[in-house]
Structure formats: structure tokens, C-alpha cells
Amino acid sequence: MSFRHPWQTEVAAIEQALEEIAEEHSGEEGLLFAAKNEKGKITKGSVKARLSEAEGTIDFPEPGEIELLTKYVELADNESAASAKLKQAQDKLIEQVAAKYPKLTEDEIKMLVVDDKWLATIAAAVQGELDRVSQTLAGRIRQLIGAVFSFSAVARRRKLRKNDILVSTVRPNLRSHLLFTNGAPNWVCSTGFPVSQWPSARRRSIGR
């Protein structure tokens, strides 16, 4: 289980705010464009230097530039203060942990090991097994679905014989039909087609 100290949240929030300000105003037309350093980066030092220029007589500031520079410096100072407090809290926590370790009982040590290491390993193993079972079941279900459709398709077919007549029952007014004259085996049709044999006498008359 991970623990996030309140000062970590504070530092992260300020850093994000500084990044958003820099990204929004660092373009050629932005109010922080003149605050970039030689490497093209916006830092606390470069912003302070530009603020000194803007407040003095070296360069005339753009409208709203001093306010934005001041806001950036204030946020940067708050970030430095929060980072310092976070470091103090972390150092204090390390001291407390170091003082507590020699006093841990056997049961407490076992609990720490299980909670922080073994349980994570067990959870990962269980999740892996669940994923494997899920994949196996999904594959089996696909096989069963394929078998069902295959069986259905076979059950609804019939073999054709030479000179079979197939009559379509869809839109009977069109009188659609087919005389199957191919003698090759393994030709099939849907059982939805009524099938009958062409009379031999008629076949001979047609052959003439």
C-alpha cells in the first residue's frame, strides 16, 4: 500500500500550475517569452530576472506581464517552501521508522512482510490465473458457438442430385427456379428450397 503525504500533493499541484502557466504564455506572443533563459527554458531565476527588468527602466513591460511574472514567482516560492517541508516530513518519518524497527515484534514483522510483499505477489498470481482462465473460457465459448453454427448450417442443407429443380419461395410471383444439371457430388442447397426431380420423359424431349 502506498502513502502520499499531504505535502507531496501540495508540491505536485504547484508544479502542475507552473507548467500550465509556462506552456500557455511561453509562445512568441506570450507574456513569458522574454523570461526564457539562454536555453529557451522558463525557470524561477529567469522569471525573477525578467521581473527586475520589467519593474526597472531596462525594458518596458507588456500589459499584464508584471502581474503574471509576479504570480509565477510567488508560485515558485510556494513550491520551494512546500518541497522543504516535505523533505523535513520525510526525514522525520525515516527517523521514526529507524527507531521503531528494533522494537518490532515477530508478529509485526510477519505482518509487514505479508502485507507489503507476499500479498502483492499472491494478488499478481491470482490475477494471472484469472486472466488465463478467462482466456480459456473465451476460447471454449468461441468453439462452442462455431460448433453450433456449423451444426445449424449442416442441418439446414440437403444434397443436390442431377436434374433437381429448385423453386424459390421468396416472391413467388417472380417464379424463380433452377434446373440443376451439374452431376458433380457434394453440391448442397438450403432446405428452404422445395426440390423435385425433372421427369425423364421431359428431360429426353428437352435433350432433342
pLDDT in tens, 27-60: 888 888 888 988 989 999 999 998 888 887 666 7
Between 184 and 9, where is the model more confident?
A: 9
Looking at residue 70, its pLDDT comes to: 92
**Which pLDDT belongs to residue 149?**
45
Q: Domains of the chain: which residue ranges?
A: 6-103, 105-155, 158-207
Mean pLDDT of the chain: 75
Which of 49-53, 121-125, 160-164 shows the lowest per-residue confidence on average (mean pLDDT)? 121-125
pLDDT at 48: 92
What mean pLDDT is predicted for residues 79-88? 89
Task: Give the 3-state secondary structure of the chain.
Answer: CCCCCHHHHHHHHHHHHHHHHHHHHCCCCCCCHHHCCCCCCCCHHHHHHHHHHHHCCCCCCCCCHHHHHHHHHHHHHHHHHHHHHHHHHHHHHHHHHHHHHHHCCHHHHHHHHHHHHHHHHHHHHHHHHHHHHHHHHHHHHHHHHHHHHHHHHHHCEEECCCCEEEECCCCHHHCCEEEECCCCCCCEEECCCCEEECCHHHHHHHHC
